[in-house]
Amino acid sequence: MRFDVLTLFPEIFAGYLGQGLLKRAIERQLIDVYVHDIREWSTDARHKKVDDRPFGGGPGMVLMAEPVVASVEAARAQQADPGHLVMLTPQGRRFDQRVVEELAANERILLLCGRYEGFDERVRLILRPDEISIGDFVLNGGEVAAMAVIDAVIRLVPQVLGDEQSSGDDSFSGPRRWLEFAQYTRPREYRGLEVPPILLSGDHGAIARWREQDALRRTNLRRPDLIDGRQAETEGGERQETERDSQ
Ligand code: SAM
C-alpha cells in the first residue's frame, strides 16, 4: 500500500516514519510513504509563497489553489493508479474505524494537509477529495491528522501486525465493534490488585467467555452508544465512579 502525503512541513514526518510498526512495515516493503512539499509547486520561485490573505478580509492566510492543485496532480501522475485523495479538514466526515476499514481497501491514498486558515475553496471544488476530520476540534495543521490516518490504516494491511488476529479484538473492530476487554500482564499482583484468576486458569473457553462479558460490561459503561445507539456518558468523573463501583 502506498501513501503520498502533501504538506508544507515535510520534515515533521521523518521521526514518525522512522519508528516502530511503521518503520518495520516500510522495511518489509508492505507500505510505502512518499512525502511531497507543496511549496515546490509555488508559482513564486523566489519566496516559495503558497498562501495569501483571504478575499473579503479577516485574520490569517489561506492556502492558494494553484500550488495545492498542482502538487496533488503531480503526485497522482507518479503512478498509473491516481489513488484515493483525502483532504484533512475539520469540516470533513468523522474519522472512525469504519472509515479506516474503507480506506484500507485502497492500494494508494494521498493525504492533503492544510495549514493556516485552510484551503482556498476551489481546491475542494476542483479535486473533489474525500474530506476527513479526525474529531470536532481544530488542529494547527493536517499533519497530525494524516499520521493518525496512516497509523490506523496500516494496522489493517495484511502482515503489518505480527499476529493477523490481533486487530480483530481491538476496540471498534470485529462484527460487534465493542470496546476491547481488560488486559493484564505480569506481575500477578501489583499494589494489592490481582489479575482475575480466570485469566490464569488455562481454560481457553472460560477465558473467552470472561473476555466477552468484560468487553460488554466496559462498552455498556463507557460507550453504550456502540451497543444500542444510546448516548455515551459525557461526565468522565461519573463514569469512572460507576465503573469502580461495579468492580
Ligand atoms: N479555518 C479552518 C476551519 O475553521 O475549518 C481550520 C483550519 S486549521 C487551523 C488548518 C488545517 O489543519 C486544516 O486545513 C486541516 O488540514 C487541519 N485540521 C485542523 N483540524 C483538523 C481536524 N479536526 N481534522 C483533520 N484536519 C484538521
| Domain annotation covers residue 112 | yes
Check whether residue 60 and residue 29 sit in a common domain. yes
| 111 and 17 co-located in one domain | yes
Domain that holds residue 230: 175-246
Tell me whether residue 166 is in a domain.
no
Annotation says 211 is catalytic: no
If you measure from the C-alpha of residue 100 to the centroid of ligand 1, how many angstroms do you get, rounded to a whole number? 19
Q: Does the pLDDT of residue 8 top 90, yes or no? A: yes
141 and 216 co-located in one domain: no
The predicted model gives 32-57 an average pLDDT of 97
What pLDDT score was predicted for residue 210? 98
pLDDT at 167: 84
What is the mean pLDDT of the segment spanning 132-158? 98
Domain presence at residue 168: no
**Are 184 and 150 found together in one domain?**
no
Question: What's the burial of 51, exposed, middle or buried (CB within 10 Å: 0-12/13-18/19+)?
Answer: buried
CB 61 less than 6 A from any atom of ligand 1? no
Quick count: other Cβ atoms within 10 Å of Cβ 165?
Answer: 8
7 Cβ inside 6 Å of ligand 1: no
Mean pLDDT of 38-55: 97
Based on the domain organization, do 30 and 79 belong to the same domain? yes
> Band of the pLDDT at 235, cuts 50, 70, 90?
very low
The pLDDT value recorded for residue 236 is 46
What pLDDT is attached to residue 230? 63
What is the pLDDT, as a whole number, of residue 70?
A: 98
What confidence tens digit (pLDDT) does each residue in 74-108 have? 999 999 999 999 999 999 999 999 999 999 999 99
Are the C-beta atoms of residues 85 and 130 closer than 8 Å to each other? yes
In a domain, residue 165? The reply is no
Which atom from ligand 1 is nearest to the alpha carbon of 113?
16
Q: What angle do CA 109, 115, 121 make, to 5 degrees?
A: 75
Cα(85)–Cα(242) distance, integer angstroms? 43
**The one catalytic residue among 90, 131, 211, 239:** 90
pLDDT grade for 234, boundaries at 50, 70 and 90: very low
Residues 90, 149 within the same domain: yes
Band (166; pLDDT cuts 50, 70, 90): confident
Who's near 165: CB < 8 A, 6+ residues apart? Answer: none
pLDDT digits (tens, 9 = 90+) for 184-200: 999 999 999 999 999 99
Whether 129 and 96 map to the same domain: the answer is yes
**Closest-lying ligand 1 atom to the alpha carbon of residue 141:** 12
Determine which one of 37, 101, 117, 169 is catalytic.
Answer: 117
| Exposed / middle / buried, residue 161 (Cβ in 10 Å: 0-12, 13-18, 19+) | middle
pLDDT at 99: 98
Rounded mean pLDDT of the chain? 93
Q: Is the dihedral of CA 95, 97, 102, 107 positive or negative?
A: positive
Position 160 in a domain: no
* Catalytic residue list contains 90: yes
Whether ligand 1 lies within 6 angstroms of the CB of 149 is answered as no
Calculate the CA 53 to chain-centre distance: 31
Q: How far is the CA of 185 from the centre of ligand 1 (A)?
A: 39
Cell numbers describing residue 153: 490504516
The pLDDT of residue 168: 86
91 lines ligand 1 (CB under 6 A): yes
Backbone angles phi, psi at 153, to 5 degrees: -70, -40
Predicted local confidence at residue 245, as pLDDT:
45
The pairing of strands 193-194 and 189-190 is: antiparallel
How much of the chain, in percent, has pLDDT values that exceed 90?
89
Residue corresponding to grid cell 499494589:
191
Q: How many CA atoms lie within 13 A of 210 on its CB side?
A: 15
203 is an active site residue: no
Residues 226 and 125 in one domain: no
**Same domain? 105 vs 194:** no
Whole-angstrom distance, CA of residue 79 vs CA of residue 85: 14
Check whether 132 has a pLDDT greater than 60.
yes
Residues 179 and 150 in one domain: no
Question: How many C-beta atoms surround the C-beta of residue 133 within 10 A?
Answer: 18
The residue assigned the cell 499482583 is 189
Query: Domain holding 71: CATH number?
Result: 3.40.1280.10
131 included as an active-site residue = no
User: How many domains, in total, are found in the chain?
Assistant: 2
Q: Is 224 in the pocket of ligand 1 (CB under 6 A)?
A: no
CATH of the domain at 202: 1.10.1270.20
